[in-house]
Amino acid sequence: MELELKNLYDDFRDADTIKAYAKMIALDAEKLEKPINIMEVCGGHTHTIMKYGIPQLMPQNVNFIHGPGCPVCIMPKERIDHAYVLSMQEDVILVTLGDMIKVPGSNGSLQDARAKGADVRFVYSPMDCIKISKENPTKKVIFFAIGFETTTPMTAALVNTLIKQDIQNIFLHINHVTVPEVMKELIDSRDIHVDSYNNQIDAFLGPSHVSVISGSKIYEEFPRDYNRPVVVAGFEPVDVMQAISMIVKQFIENRCELEVEYNRLVSYDGNIKAQELIEKYFEKTDLFKWRGLGNIPKSGLRLKEEYANYDAEIIYKDILPIEEIEDHKLCICGDILRGIASPPECTIFGTACKPTTPIGSCMVSSEGACAAYYKYGNLLKKQ
């Protein structure tokens, strides 16, 4: 029999297996001393949790709170404005990934800029910039790079290629961020504009694709220093159910540990070659502003000084806006990203703000909590 793609994931979506885990979790949850709140850091997990109605399967004392794991959702308006301004330059082709085109900044989205004549393109891989630059030798191609540890190696590979091939008309605006720093910020905020001391996080579902690159080692400090267990989980519903079961068992057995459910792909050390490529070209920023979360120390990356000739933020610094911009006063994306509010609590959720007319960034990407709730809202209530 010919192997089809669906053969590879059918077992991870099996209804009987999911129901069996639900029963196991419910039985174990009866032994919990108090309710537990599990934050899924990754937007991919948010999408899976909502799509498959997993909150509906949970006992009343096991709850989800949604974290800032969507790289589109956490991009502040001022950096979106950077992309907008760059795209409007006459000799520029602005290139980025997927949903970034739809995120509204203070002047509009990149989609709006394209409607005004800007040459804005989305790609599936940063390496597509090479082809675009060769087809447009008189243009400057600027790659607006976003994402967590998952996509950073691809951007580093692009820099590596630019140097090896001596390509002179590609530049990068770097917006890569890292997961552990924001997890710490959610537990113990150091930004005077953000009150995270009222966080309700009891445990974390660790991101899967991030962990393939970085290894599970990056979460060791959370059970050790913050008394928060972490279970790294895959994206399929059976993965998520098994990881929840592992977390509940830790609580009833009075353990606080780092565990890996997604062990078919995640190792302790991760992808060493990818890590070396990142370290070769990037360094930590002192601060990076996350939408709704404020400035988080050492949570962003930038090109090292020796590669400044590829850095669009440096090359175009005289035209890039520097003022900080507040979100729409009715948008509560910040509270949603911190896990202290859910999308239905927003007064404009599903009315003024919906996927076709997003006001907040959480409604833009399919990985955003608001977009997931909007699409799968019929699965919200527990039975």
pLDDT tens digit at each of 383 positions of the chain? 455 555 556 688 899 999 999 999 999 999 999 999 999 999 899 999 999 999 999 999 999 998 888 888 889 889 999 999 999 999 999 999 877 888 888 888 999 999 999 999 999 999 999 999 999 999 999 999 999 999 999 999 999 999 999 999 999 999 999 999 999 988 886 555 555 445 689 999 999 999 999 999 999 999 999 999 999 999 999 999 999 999 999 999 999 999 999 999 999 999 999 999 999 999 999 999 988 788 899 999 999 999 999 999 999 999 999 888 777 788 888 888 777 788 999 999 999 999 888 888 888 877 888 988 888 875 444 43
Largest CA distance in the chain: 67
What pLDDT is recorded for position 78?
93
- Residue closest to 178 by CA, chosen among 144, 205, 213, 202: 213
What pLDDT is recorded for position 383?
39
Q: Indicate the DSSP class of residue 75.
A: -
Cβ neighbours, 10 Å, residue 170:
25
**How far is the C-alpha of 204 from the C-alpha of 38, rounded, in Å?**
6
**How far is the C-alpha of 312 from the C-alpha of 92, rounded, in Å?**
11
What pLDDT is recorded for position 293?
82
What pLDDT is recorded for position 106?
87
Backbone angles phi, psi at 306, to 5 degrees: -70, -10
- Residue closest to 368 by CA, chosen among 98, 188, 9: 98
Q: Are 200 and 37 in contact (CB under 8 A)?
A: yes
What pLDDT is recorded for position 189?
64
Cβ neighbours, 10 Å, residue 320:
18
> SS3 for 13?
helix
Tokens of 365: 């990407």
> SS3 for 68?
coil
**At 40, which helix (H) or strand (E)?**
strand 36-40
The model carries a pTM of: 0.90
Beta bridge partners of 290: 294
**How far is the C-alpha of 137 from the C-alpha of 373, rounded, in Å?**
44
Backbone angles phi, psi at 131, to 5 degrees: -60, -45
What pLDDT is recorded for position 80?
94
**How far is the C-alpha of 283 from the C-alpha of 305, rounded, in Å?**
9
